[in-house]
Structure 1
Amino acid sequence: MPSRKPIRALVVDDSHFVRTVVSDILEKQDINVVDTARNGAEAVQKVAELSPDVVTMDVEMPEMGGIEAVDVIMNENPTPILMLSAHTEEGAQTTFDALEKGAIDFYPKPGGEVSTRLSNHEEKLASLVRSVAAAEVSQRSVEHETPEPAKNRTYVNYPTLLMGSSTGGPQVVEHILSSLPGNTDLRILIVQHMPASFTSRFARRLDSACDFDVVEGEDGLRIGGGEAVVAPGDRHLVVDSYARGRLRLRLSDDPPVHSSRPAVDPMMKSAADTITDSLVGVILTGMGKDGAAGIEALKQVGATTIAQDKSTSAVDSMPRHAIETGCVDFVKPDQSIPETILEAISTSDTS
């Protein structure tokens, strides 16, 4: 059997120490570091010269910062990029800015800085680098269109939307929420594989981008129509009870599922077990098989199930595993998912 071709990485950081630590970690995990760069300008040049499979990118650097470098690289030589982000509010904001420019995912630096403590997380970092390296970047410039609302479209009572995503997911989730009209009366639960301290900023970003009131989940929180909840980092979000169109949510410290906490499966399974009204389950881009069992559970109770297609997924592993269960009703490009959701909860659609 031929050996798998090693991943070729470019490590970008203005600190020589950080470049050395990250390079050593990746090399120990059989990821070939082809070169390093001290700033964004060098990164742009070396991406053009070396065509690496993946770039790890710092944010704050002299001459050209990480966000500007991401923008240039994604326009000139599209390459999967993993941001190394500070564990701060400012770091979270710049991280989402980088994702908006085309970065695939991010890794929070322990304690706000990469140090020797990062060696305790080397397997996790290497796994994320491999996941990002597998991302498709050539299809990421799809124009998103908001569905045109039909004048006389009406919706079922008390619909609930459940969405799960991982690598490449934040921008897709934001597009979907911003494309759904508030008069749908949806209750929306979102699991995005994302560490603590970033999910609260993600919830605020979504809140400012859509018609729904979006918050980070809290234990015992109750939500009704027009409200959305993002699972907090490092806690599972599950539906505890349901009555008269209102959900009561619970946070769980149960072990990770498919190496993730929060995970999609517990959220979807609990919804299938608890909610008696209309359900729509959506699996978006991401690495791994989280969400496949949740989609099966939803389908067993008559939910409409949707998966993002391969052509628009940064990483198609999660939707592919869901599709392989045979329980997915629709496989759609990301720009078509909002309209598919609206059709699923519509009682009429007359212009």
Structure 2
Amino acid sequence: PSFGFLFDIDGVLVRGKTPIPAARAAFQKLVNSQGQFLVPVVFVTNAGNCLRQKKADQLSQLLGVPISQDQVMMSHSPLRMFKRYHEKCVLVSGQGPLLDIAQDLGFCQPITIDTLREKRPLLDAIDHDRRPSVLVVFCNCGFLTAVVLFGEPVRWETSLQLIIDVLLTSGYPGNPYQQENYPHIPVLACNMDLMWVAEAQSPRFGHGTFMVCLENIYKKITGKELKYEALMGKPSRLTYQYAEHLIRTQALQRSWEQPIHTLYAVGGPATLSQDHEIGLSWENELASAAAARCRSVLVCTGVYNPHTEVPLDTRDSVTETVFHGHRDFRFDPGLVEPDHIVPDVDAAVDLVFQLENFAP
């Protein structure tokens, strides 16, 4: 095959933990009688609260076909390329098995928000019931060289406070704020989704909402913009380049000799272009991804609203339809318009097979 699939999960295959009926039918068309995929497939999710293997196991049970962890791309998967931080002490924010996730990605010295709070209990003062009853002796927890935001945390007030502390003290939380130290230590963020679709009738807050809070608190205190070393997860260019790398690796392992020319992203709109000021040092590591054409197939089972108008510019979005993308993405209406719109994922597979003249 000369094409491959990039499948969103939330709103395409599931709503929360409830399978979308069309999903199983779609994937029966994508495998042979031995359960092997007929075309390269990668699942691209903005989830970041578990290991790839756990997500692969969930998908296998959900879809009734065997899925390997090498077919799963979490929002944090591209962090494997940021090797310059792997040996350093970094603060990690989110929920789930954070240390396991960080170490699986290559980080040798991750410190969680909870660990930092235990070492510096005086810093977490919003919840009166969690304040220390006695003053704790000063504890040096070392120099934090970067902040990695895996996903939305549970106690937002604690995470916001401690991350701000780390940024304003150049990695030495507990020290006095040093506003002259700008730019701050690097921040790497995964999953910019403002909202996501679960079983509720309306979309729920995502990690992007937490990031909006962090950005605005930082700017209110310092008068300056919070800067990101990298943003990853849909719809960043980095994520789709890394997914293309996984597709090509999969084709190589299956000894499919025909080059992959077209990738079909089934789920949300195509990638938005990212501001050039964000670090691009990872691009050399993806040189093997030869820029296959990516076409978007939008399904109507997720957050998509066919009646929403497209704003001309993010700066005008207060008076026009609100732009829900991240602050550091330039808005291009041409990129948001999908190449195809179909009712569900089963119809998407049928459409792609038809476009590619592919007969399983």
TM (normalized to structure 1)?
A: 0.35
Higher strand share: 1
Larger Rg belongs to: 2
Higher helix share: 1
Q: Which has the higher contact order (CA 8 A, sep 6+)?
A: 2
